[in-house]
Structure 1
Amino acid sequence: MNRQSTPVSEDEIQAYVDGVIAEHRREEIDRLLETDDALAGRVSDYFSLNSMLHDRYDRVLQEPLPQRLV
């Protein structure tokens, strides 16, 4: 049986990459990624960007708050 899938929104792509999307929707997107090269490319780009931002800025999150802001 063919299942009609709902188009994936920009918000859903971001939620998927952040791991906060509903389980049933994640499973639908997982299936779409197997056949939709454009979607797979966009999701891959978001994962890469997410990783780059963490590599670059996570250390800042560990820095103490400057005294002038306390």
Structure 2
Amino acid sequence: MNEKRLHAVPGAGTPITEADLHAYADGQLPPARRAEVETFLAAHPQDQARVDEWREQRRLLHAMLDPVLDEPLPLRLPLA
């Protein structure tokens, strides 16, 4: 993946990356980094809008695909 660097968080040492935004949208950041991303997003509404779109996409995909997880395995599927 092409690691796109965004802006640094004031007072923090590590710039927020595209990967950080995706991890934030998926709820996969540790608390300290999540706080840094939230500070960044508060100052960058265009990036907040992108994260909101990704969260909505995730919600829609889960709504559409989660029911498949409850379907029984086809009998013709080899289990070995």
Q: TM-score range by the shorter chain?
A: 0.7 to 0.9
Please list every run of 5 or more consecutive structure 1 residues that lacks an aligned counterpart in the other structure. Answer: none
Aligned pairs for 1:27-46 within 5 A:
27-46=35-54
- Normalised TM-score (structure 2): 0.74
RMSD value, Cα:
1.6
Deviation at 1:9, TM superposition (A): 2.0
Relative contact order higher in (CA < 8 Å, ≥ 6 apart): 1
Question: 1:2-41 to 2 correspondence within 5 Å?
Answer: 2-4=10-12, 6-41=14-49
List structure 1 runs of 4+ shifted beyond 4 angstroms. Answer: none
- Identity across matched positions, percent: 35
Whether the aligned pair in 1 keeps the contact of 2:20 and 2:37 (CA below 8 Å) is no
Distance 1:54 1:32, change over 3 A: same
| AA at the equivalent of 1:56 | M
Where is the helix percentage greater, Structure 1 or Structure 2?
1
TM-score (norm 1): 0.82
Q: Give the count of matched residue pairs.
A: 69
